[in-house]
């Protein structure tokens, strides 16, 4: 993305509605995590939010499974047409490299459906589908359901040892 030519701006691209939508997207990330915590499904103990050059996200975990949900502009532009992505670390965070093959094996079904990618560090990266033409609460609920399905798949197929 950085190596591509900068396209000249037009007035629609700097519209306040673009800014408003980006704020909405960040709010959806926060609402998914706070709703999951309120329902006692997610935990954020010891976790934080994380902004970066082309993303905003929140760390959380379900039981022993560690996740990072993010609004990621680079993935949206380069990988698949969705702003929302879920990174799945398995039973540890980034430093737990021994968990990566277990996660890949557990989520193989998603890979066959072309719904599983990997970061440069080999962390599972899953695009989250958006419901179109619906209220924000429906979008949040849909994302919560997708994460539950991913976690169920992970728990069902997670190998105890490699």
Give the pLDDT confidence of 104-137 residue by residue, as tens digits.
999 999 988 889 999 999 999 999 999 999 999 9
Classify residue 130 as exposed, middle or buried by CB count within 10 Å of its CB (0-12, 13-18, 19+): middle
The mean pLDDT value for 36-53 works out to: 92
Residue that wins the pLDDT comparison between 12 and 147: 147
Band (pLDDT 50/70/90 cuts) for residue 161 is: low
Contacts of 41 (CB under 8 A, 6+ apart): 62, 144, 148
Q: Looking at the whole model, is its pTM more than 0.75?
A: yes
Q: How far is CA 112 from the centre of its chain?
A: 19
Band (pLDDT 50/70/90 cuts) for residue 1 is: very low
Whether the CB-CB separation of 96 and 89 falls below 8 Å is answered with yes
Percent of the chain with pLDDT over 90: 67
């Amino acid at each position: 993305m950085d190596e591509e030519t900068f396209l000249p701006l037009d007035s629609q691209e700097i519209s306040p509605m673009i800014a408003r939508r980006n704020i909405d997207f960040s709010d959806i990330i926060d609402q998914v995590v706070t709703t999951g915590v309120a329902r006692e499904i997610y935990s954020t103990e010891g976790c934080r939010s994380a902004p970066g050059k082309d993303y905003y996200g929140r760390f959380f975990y379900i039981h022993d499974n560690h996740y990072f949900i993010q609004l990621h502009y680079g993935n949206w532009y380069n990988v698949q047409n969705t702003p929302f992505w879920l990174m799945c670390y398995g039973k540890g965070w980034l430093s737990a490299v021994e968990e990566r093959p277990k996660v890949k094996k557990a989520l193989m079904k998603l890979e066959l459906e072309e719904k599983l990618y990997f970061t440069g560090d080999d962390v599972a990266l899953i695009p989250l589908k958006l419901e179109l033409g619906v209220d924000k609460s429906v979008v949040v609920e849909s994302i919560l359901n997708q994460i539950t399905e991913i976690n169920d798949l992970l728990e069902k197929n997670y190998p105890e040892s490699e």
